[in-house]
Amino acid sequence: MNEAAVGFQCPECVRSGRKETRSGRTTYGGARSADASRTSYVIIGVNVAVWLAVLLTGYTSSHLIDVLGLRGDGLCEVGGRYFSVGQQLCDTRNGVWLPGVSDGALWQLVTSAFLHVQIWHLVGNMLGFYIIGPFVEQAVGRARFLAICAVSGLAGSTAVLLLTNPYQLTLGASGIVFGLFGAVAVLLWRSGGDLRGILTLLAINVFITFAVPNVSWQGHLGGFAGGLLAAAAIVLAPRGERRALVQWSLLAGLLVVVLVVAGLRVVALA
Residues annotated as catalytic (active site), given as ranges: 174, 220
Single out the residue of 108, 207, 202 nearest to residue 158, CA to CA. Answer: 108
Single out the residue of 151, 76, 60 nearest to residue 109, CA to CA. Answer: 151
Distance (Å, whole) CA 132 – CA 210: 22
- List, in sequence order, the alpha helices (H) in the chain: 11-21, 38-56, 63-68, 87-92, 108-111, 119-140, 142-163, 174-191, 196-211, 217-235, 243-269
DSSP codes joined into one string, 6-50: SSEE-HHHHHHHHHHHTTTB-TTSPBPPSSTTHHHHHHHHHHHHH
